[in-house]
Every structure is written in C-alpha cells, then in structure tokens.
Structure 1
Amino acid sequence: MKSLRFHWICLFLLSVCLLLWYNHVMRSGLAMKTGLRGYVRVHPNTRSASYFLDFRCGRCAVVSSSGQMLGGARGQEIDGHDCVIRMNAAPSIGYEADVGNRTSLRVVSHTSVPHLVRQQGYFFGREAETRYVIWGPEKNMREDGKGKIFNALVTLAKKYPQSHIYTVTREKVQYCDSVFQNETGKNRMKSGAFLSTGFFTMILALEVCDSVLVYGMIDGSYCSNANHSFVPYHYYEPSRLEECRMYRTHEHAKRGGHRFITEKLIYSRWASQGKLRFVYPPWSQQEHQQD
C-alpha cells in the first residue's frame, strides 16, 4: 500500500513538473511570436534569434521635424503624452521648449543612419531606451553582407547590445506601397515616388497607439496659400531649406521625389476616422472631411 501511495505521489509531482515546463515553453514561444511582424529586431550575431517589435501605447505624440515646431512652446505638452515618436535624427537638446525632451520611438530613414552612427553616443547613450525602426530599400537592407545600412546597424547592435534597433521588413515596405496605391490610385514605383519617413511613421503610429496627436505637420493646402510664411524644412536647420519649396520640388519630381503634399491629403482622410488628430498647427475641419 505504501509503495502504491509513493508511486502516485511521484506521478503527481512529475505531472506538476511537466505542466510547469509546458507552461514555460508556451509562454516563451508566445513571447517570441508577439509584436508586429513587419518590424524585426537586429541582433549582433544573427537574425535567426530576432523577434518582432513589441510596442504598444495609449496616447502618442508624433513630432515632425518641420520648422513649424519653432516658437510653438509645445515641449511640455508633448512630453505629457504616454509615448513620444520622432523621426530620423531630429534632436531635442536645445529645442526642449518647442519639441519636448522624451523619445520613446524613432522612425529612421536609411539615409539618416549615418547621422545615428556619427552621434551614437547621443542616440544609444542618452536615448538608450528609445526604440529605433529603420526603413530602406532592399539593396541597403539586405542581410547577406552586401546591405551597407543593415551592416551598420549590426555593428551598432554589437557595440550597444542593450539597444533596441528594428528594421522594416521587405513585406512591410511592400504593404506600405500598397497603402499608397490604394489611397492614390497610383503605383508608387511607376510614378517615380519614394515614400517619406513621415508615411512610415504614420502607419506605425496608427498600428501601435490608441490615439495619435501630431505636432508640426502642415495640411495639404498650406503651401498653396499665397500668405504662407517662410518656414525651414527642419527646425534644427533654420537657415537652410524652405519647407514649401522643398514640398513643391518633391511633389513634381519625375523620379526620386517624396509626395509630401499627396501624403498630407491621405492623412486628412485618415484623420476623419477619429484616431488621428493634428493639434499643432491645427488642421481645419474642412480639410479633415475632404474625400
């Protein structure tokens, strides 16, 4: 009888151990599968151990790099959001009063990665907790050793193993192309256009945030108004390019241009759905309701 009881106790303990082990395995597997599949982390050695961007937020501030931010004194308001999303290598130091100080996530073009490399102490030191999402064409992002930008990201990941660096997958880039085509009726590649960092940022923000409040982005009709004032393209380069001139040049470029104005018209339709709002400068209600 004692032997039988001992047998059942051992069997029970073994069952508990197996159950705990199975639960651990399932939780670990689930952790690897959660997140957004279009954004994959860069690891120092191999991408086989990569996992997807696991980022969720309630109320997000998307901060444009536009000169529209200058003099707005919206920094404290921006920092009051649950998350702050910035673009490319736009700095906050020296501009805190206007653009805020916090950075939760940065969406970065392949063309801006050299800026991250040159200022890596700032981006991966001061902003060590920031998640970086890098997009770029296949030739720069390929993982066979020939992707110049991807190689630079691997080098950064090796030097800063606690960093959070992600790339936009080829499938996600193709998805963004399809969104552009569905919204405009134009094939992005055939029309000679490149999607802007702002476009990738908007799509990502709408995926991960419950609500998106945008700062520093003008509406699609701003540059056509005769009385619009001179505004620099970037708030941190006040004496260089003029925003509307840059927009018009790109909008009408036959090849290699960002369709900034067209993209703003797309955003206005998205804003009519209620999750996206342009708070500074405020977009007119009429702009939001355009079809």
Structure 2
Amino acid sequence: MRALAVTVWVFINLLFFGMCGYMYLLWSQYWLNSDKDLESSTNNYDQQIYLYNRGFLVNDSSKYDDTSTSEIKNRIKHSSSSIDNITVVRNSKPRFPNVQKSEFIFDSKNFVCKSNDSKIACNEKTQSFKDKLINEMKRVFLDEGNVLKPGGKDNSYNVNYQGPRENYMEKSQNHMLCELRNVKIDTIQRRDVPSKLNSFKGYFPNKGIFEDVQFKSCAVISSAGSFTLSGSGRRIDSYEVVLRFNNAPTKGFEIDVGQKTTIRIVNSQVMSKQEFDFLRAAVFRNVTILGWDPSNYTSTVEEWFQNPEYNLFPNYIGYKRMFPESEIYIMNPQSIWKVWDFLQSNSPNRLRRNPPSSGFLGITLLLSHCDFVDAYEYIPSVRITKRCHYYEPENNQACTFGVWHPLAAEKLLTYYMNEADDRTVFQDGYVRIPGFNKLNC
C-alpha cells in the first residue's frame, strides 16, 4: 500500500513538472513569434557581415578598448548603414538557456609560455588552454543545432540536406581528408556562363584557379585579433603561397602578419559595395582574387547568374577591363554547398544552414594544390582576444566561435585533421594539414 502511494506521488510530481515545462515552452515560443514583426527583411548574409566584421550595435561604444572618440564615431558611421534592422532580443522575455553556460575567458595571458617556463610548465599551460577552448567550441557546436533559440529555424538558402550525419570522431584523420578530397572547389569558367550572357563570356577564364599547379608550402592567414603581438610575420612570408581574406591589410602589421600575399578570397559584399572600393583599393592589386557569393542550396549556376545575392559581376568585369592580365576568378556557388554538405555529413547535430566561412573554403581550396597547408589563428591560440580583427578595434567573441557561419563545427573538424603538435597549434598559432597529394586513399 505504501509503495502504491509513493508511486502515485512520484507520478503526480512528474506530471506537474512536465506541465510546467510545456507551459514554459509555449510561453517562450509565443514571445519568440511575437517579435517577428520587428525582424529585419534584410538578408541574413547582410547581418553576418555586420556581426562578423563590425562587432556591435551602433550605440554600444563601451565595447571599445582604448579607442578615441573620433575613431568610435568613424567606426559607427561606417557600420550604421548595415545595421538599421538588426533585431535586439529583449532579456526580459523568456528564452531557453544554453545547456552549458560559457565559462571561456578571453584576453587571458595565463596560458602563454614564457621564456623561463620549463617544458612541463609550458605543456600544462597549453593543455589547460586547449581543454577550455575545445570545450567552448563543443558547447557552441551543440548550441548551433538548437531550433528553439532565436534564428534557430532560419533557412534563407532553402537548404534541404538529406545525407548522413556521422561523427567525425569515429573516423581516422586520413579518412576525413580522403572524404574532403572529393569536395573540389570549382571556379566559374567560360563554358559555365549562360548563353543569355554570351557577351560576357570573354571575361571568364578557360581554366580553373591553380589548375594543374602544385605548391610546396601554403599558409592561410585569418584576420583574427589574436595576431596582435604574435611576431608571426617572418614565418608567414616564407611560404610559397599566402592566402588572405577580403580587405585585410598588411601595411603597418608586417611584424605580426607578414607582407606577402598570393591570393585573396573576397566575398561578394566586399566586391560589390562602394565602401570597400574594390576596383581601386591597393590590397586588391597584383594578387590572385577569388570572389564568392552564395546561391540557394538547390540553385543551378544559371539561376544564380540571374539572381546573385550580391551582384559582384559588374565589379568583376570592371576589374578585368582595368587589369586584363589579372588572375581573378569567381567560385562556383555549388562548390560552396558541397563543402557545407561535407561538414554536415560529419556532424551528428544539425548545423546552421548558412554557407561555410571563407576560412574553411580557403583551406579546402589549397589542400588540392599544396603539399601542406598551415592555417594561422584559424584555431585560436593562447593570444585569443575578443577583438574581431587585428586591424580593427571592435570586440565580439562571435568572430571566433561563430554567429552565422558554422564556425565551431569547421574548427573542431579542422583541429581533428591537423597533424601539428598542441604546442605548435596553441602557442605558435597554426595548424598543419597534409595536402591531398600526400594521402593514401
């Protein structure tokens, strides 16, 4: 009789707490949906450029460190046109919290190996930092698949993935690289241009980027704030190929990031928007340019030509007219989604349904043409900071762990494919991935 009473009591409590949880879910979703009339009609990619490159809302000047008032006003003016419609989530409304709360500490010098540290002490610092960083990336990775969080249901590219969702941890490094080798980064060639645009075919090359070319050493240089005081410039300049992104400068930062640039991967906003001055800015001269613009997940190349997200074609053609001998290419948008498919097929959780980052696209591209690829500050080193870029003062940790691209998944997988030791990765600041020509598949 007593056992029956206890059973009934447990059942009633479970029912009560279950009902409370269900009511909380309904309440949360009500407020989430009630905000929809405030949401921006601006494309998510536009918000990404703001969040990833600008770092904070217009009036939030408190996030600058040691920045003059005139500098702040200049930055705000530069970014304000892109953020008028950014949605602000009110803290007073209920939201399901993350399963794990972030405890990661930025701007800490406690993990940097000093000249008087013993090898054991340095290894302990490195291991401690590694554990904290990997745990934070895993937390973000799990959180990306949360459909209940704001933006968790976004699918502006109509992604309809039907493939497997396997765990990369259950595969060998060689197996992962062999899978990635099948994901080729193609560029638009003359034969790909739709017949309706025959007059523009002459501006497109007959060959793909780096076709039939192999390099010994290649470096992918992120724009991370953790480059500051790294002293990596001389080592970076020693590589045969150095890849940089968008309008990241080298002048004035040579000690930390080097001065050599072989190729730049440039997104369609930087290519098309007037403030980046693509046709005149010095950083886009005398280098190979690879532009990219995302299509819908199922769009054909012809459909994308007719309706790019940002119209990069006028400046692409303008560049070819100004510099007829230049090496400028546009990435096939279908390649972008093949890379995303690779990420999702090796991630048991649902990824953000947005294109991969330029960083992971660049790594994938070079692995086909290099004996090895060293990616600098793509996996953050012990110099990690909230600062988005080494050349700008904005602070936003989303630049490191992701706000739009599936960055956490990319970085976890990249670290898994890395063959450098942890001291190189987390103290020196780069991972090393063997080129596809070195694989035994």
| TM-score bracket for this pair, using the shorter chain length | 0.5 to 0.7
Residue in structure 2 matched with residue 89 of structure 1 by the alignment: 247
Indicate which of 191, 208, 223 corresponds to 1:52: 208
CA separation of 1:89 and 1:155: change in aligned 2, threshold 3 A:
same
What is the aligned residue count?
227
Q: Residue 246 of structure 1: CA displacement?
A: 3.6
* Cα distance between partner residues in 2 of 1:282 and 1:144: 40
If asked which structure has higher relative contact order (CA below 8 Å, sep 6+), I would say 2
Residues 145 and 151, structure 1, Cα contact 8 Å, conserved in 2? no
What percentage of residue pairs aligned between the two structures are identical?
A: 22
Indicate which of 267, 287, 292 corresponds to 1:135: 292
Return the TM-score normalized by structure 2: 0.46
* Cα distance between partner residues in 2 of 1:123 and 1:248: 27
1:207 lines up with 2:368 in the alignment: yes
Q: Residue 123 of structure 1: CA displacement?
A: 3.3
Residues 78 and 100, structure 1, Cα contact 8 Å, conserved in 2? yes
Q: Residue 271 of structure 1: CA displacement?
A: 1.1
CA separation of 1:98 and 1:119: change in aligned 2, threshold 3 A:
farther
Indicate which of 221, 234, 249 corresponds to 2:389: 234
Gaps of 5+ in 1: 1-35, 251-256, 284-291
Residue in structure 1 matched with residue 39 of structure 2 by the alignment: none
- Secondary structure of 1:176 counterpart: helix
1:154 lines up with 2:317 in the alignment: yes
Gaps of 5+ in 2: 1-183, 194-198, 432-441
Indicate which of 320, 327, 333 corresponds to 1:170: 333
CA separation of 1:53 and 1:116: change in aligned 2, threshold 3 A:
farther
Residues 278 and 315, structure 2, Cα contact 8 Å, conserved in 1? no
* Cα distance between partner residues in 2 of 1:216 and 1:149: 28
* Cα distance between partner residues in 1 of 2:413 and 2:402: 19
The amino acid across from 1:217 in the alignment is: Y
Residues 37 and 52, structure 1, Cα contact 8 Å, conserved in 2? no
Residue in structure 2 matched with residue 181 of structure 1 by the alignment: 344
Q: Residue 64 of structure 1: CA displacement?
A: 0.9
- Secondary structure of 2:188 counterpart: strand
* Cα distance between partner residues in 2 of 1:184 and 1:92: 35
- Secondary structure of 1:166 counterpart: strand
Residues 217 and 280, structure 1, Cα contact 8 Å, conserved in 2? no
Report 1:1-291 matches (<5 A).
Answer: 38-40=186-188, 45-46=200-201, 50-54=206-210, 55-113=213-271, 114=273, 117-118=277-278, 120-124=280-284, 127-128=285-286, 130-138=287-295, 142-144=304-306, 148-185=311-348, 191-219=352-380, 230-237=385-392, 239-242=393-396, 244-248=397-401, 250=403, 257-272=404-419, 278=425, 280-281=428-429
- Secondary structure of 1:184 counterpart: coil
Residues 279 and 315, structure 2, Cα contact 8 Å, conserved in 1? no
CA-to-aligned-CA distance 1:51-107 (integer Å, 9 cap, x gap): 211243111111110011111111111101111111121111111111111111112
The amino acid across from 2:376 in the alignment is: Y
Residue in structure 2 matched with residue 18 of structure 1 by the alignment: none
Moved over 6 A (4+): none
Task: Point out the structure with the larger strand share.
Answer: 1
CA-to-aligned-CA distance 1:23-65 (integer Å, 9 cap, x gap): xxxxxxxxxxxxx770236899415653211243111111110
Residues 243 and 262, structure 2, Cα contact 8 Å, conserved in 1? yes
* Cα distance between partner residues in 2 of 1:157 and 1:229: 39
Q: Residue 111 of structure 1: CA displacement?
A: 2.5
Residues 363 and 375, structure 2, Cα contact 8 Å, conserved in 1? no
Residues 375 and 430, structure 2, Cα contact 8 Å, conserved in 1? no
* Cα distance between partner residues in 1 of 2:383 and 2:262: 32
* Cα distance between partner residues in 1 of 2:391 and 2:231: 15
CA-to-aligned-CA distance 1:177-201 (integer Å, 9 cap, x gap): 221112214565xx43331111111
* Cα distance between partner residues in 2 of 1:282 and 1:102: 17
* Cα distance between partner residues in 2 of 1:172 and 1:229: 31
* Cα distance between partner residues in 2 of 1:171 and 1:249: 22
